[in-house]
A = this chain, B = another copy of it.
Amino acid sequence: MARVDDMSPTRTLTVSVPERWMQESIGDVPGADVVVWDVTGPAPQDLADRLEAVVLPYARGYDGEVVRALPHLATVLTTTTGYDGVAEKVGDGPAIVTAAGVHAAATAELAVALVLASLRGIDVAARDQAQERWRPQRRRSLADRRVLLVGVGGIGEQIARRLDPFEVTLTRVASHARTDERGPVHGTDELIDLAADHDVLIAITPLSEQTHHLVDARVLAALPDDALVVNVGRGAVVDTEALTAEVTAGRLHAALDVVDPEPLPAGHPLWSAPNALITPHVGGNASAFEPRIVEHLRRTFGELARGEEPATLVRRASH
């Protein structure tokens, strides 16, 4: 007992989570006082005076100004894998820690779901069903397809694992060429050349200056007729205008969980293109999120309480 007491933190860190169920599921974390704050308006004064870490809400907006107003804020934790736009909202001060890993299972399975649904015509069948239409048609199987996976981070790896048993040929692309446990990874400089030999392109990269419009008109033009473009990362990784031209011309298919802008404006041609399938950015928004964010936050709060650098830190605090 004495030794356990010696190792316990000497002070308590106050950290907020955006929803009550998160607090309840996380339970006690030694050295951390976990409170509930939804980040939509100014924090109550007694909370504002002691908050050192804030968990941002998932799949809804939040007020960056009230985060910046916290006098002792040291760390902002996202509930997303990406953190594009977060620094702009919360300012230069606090460290940023992401929820990398939390959404991998749900997003990877949605990527496979979109590929399968588009190839096998599940979207067409769903619309036919509403009109009691039974129209069997021979379609392309995922089996025998050549898949180009653009992005080999945590979610990309989970997509690759899920594609393994589907009898596909998988080629992977990342920012620079390398070799990992799974084999060769090509660099984005080879993307246009590789596109010509693939039937399905899956984009799962963070959004950055380097990946903005990475899948541009030239990459799309290099894909063979009837190729399928899937995006489960960030909308602006694909040039929406160029993709729209290829899809509305009937040359390419698209299955998109993310678009640019999001949502698409009313009347946008992708809404009504028969060879486009759109889901409303729900890659990570599934039941898998709940146990995984709870485990992630419990682990991260422990790291913060012990003064350790969190495993998913992406930006250190500036002060």
Instruction: Enumerate chain A interface residues (CB-CB to B < 8 A).
Output: 59, 105-106, 109-110, 112-114, 116-117, 119-130, 132, 134-144, 158, 161-162, 164-167, 263-264, 266-268, 271-272, 276-282, 285-289, 291
Closest chain B residue to A112 by CB distance?
B116
Q: Are B106 and A113 in contact (CB under 8 A)?
A: no
Q: Are B282 and A137 in contact (CB under 8 A)?
A: yes
Which residues of B are found within 8 Å of A264, using beta-carbon distances? Answer: 132, 134
User: Residue among A267, A279, A291 with the most chain B CB within 10 A?
Assistant: A279
User: What is the bound-complex CA distance between A264 and B133, given in angstroms?
Assistant: 10
Q: Are A139 and B287 in contact (CB under 8 A)?
A: yes
Which residues of B are found within 8 Å of A291, using beta-carbon distances? Answer: 144
How many whole Å from A114's CB to the nearest CB in chain B? 7
Given A117-B117, A165-B162, A165-B164, are A277 and B125 also a contact pair (CB < 8 Å)?
Answer: yes
How many whole Å from A84's CB to the nearest CB in chain B? 18
User: What is the bound-complex CA distance between A130 and B109, given in angstroms?
Assistant: 24
Partner of A126 from B123, B140, B268, B272 at Cβ < 8 Å? B123
Partner of A277 from B59, B109, B126 at Cβ < 8 Å? B126
Which residues of B are found within 8 Å of A124, using beta-carbon distances? Answer: 126
Top-9 shortest CB links A-B: A113-B116, A141-B286, A123-B126, A134-B263, A141-B288, A105-B143, A143-B288, A136-B280, A126-B126
Q: Are A280 and B125 in contact (CB under 8 A)?
A: yes
11 contacts between A and B (CB under 8 A): A109-B141, A110-B120, A120-B282, A122-B277, A126-B126, A129-B277, A134-B263, A134-B264, A137-B280, A137-B285, A139-B287
User: What is the bound-complex CA distance between A167 and B286, given in angstroms?
Assistant: 14
Q: Are A286 and B116 in contact (CB under 8 A)?
A: no
Q: Are B277 and A139 in contact (CB under 8 A)?
A: no
Given A127-B127, A127-B130, are A287 and B140 also a contact pair (CB < 8 Å)?
Answer: yes
Closest chain B residue to A289 by CB distance?
B138
Q: Are B134 and A286 in contact (CB under 8 A)?
A: no
Partner of A286 from B125, B139, B280 at Cβ < 8 Å? B139
User: What is the bound-complex CA distance between A205 and B139, given in angstroms?
Assistant: 23
Q: Are A285 and B139 in contact (CB under 8 A)?
A: yes
Given A141-B109, A143-B105, A166-B109, are A279 and B117 also a contact pair (CB < 8 Å)?
Answer: no
User: What is the bound-complex CA distance between A269 and B128, given in angstroms?
Assistant: 15
Q: Are A143 and B109 in contact (CB under 8 A)?
A: yes
User: Residue among A124, A158, A288, A289 with the most chain B CB within 10 A?
Assistant: A288
Which residues of B are found within 8 Å of A162, using beta-carbon distances? Answer: 165-166
Which residues of B are found within 8 Å of A272, using beta-carbon distances? Answer: 130, 132
Which residues of B are found within 8 Å of A166, using beta-carbon distances? Answer: 105, 109, 162
Closest chain B residue to A145 by CB distance?
B287
Which residues of B are found within 8 Å of A158, using beta-carbon distances? Answer: 165
How many whole Å from A146's CB to the nearest CB in chain B? 12
Q: Are B167 and A105 in contact (CB under 8 A)?
A: yes
User: What is the bound-complex CA distance between A124 and B280, given in angstroms?
Assistant: 11
User: What is the bound-complex CA distance between A255 and B141, given in angstroms?
Assistant: 18
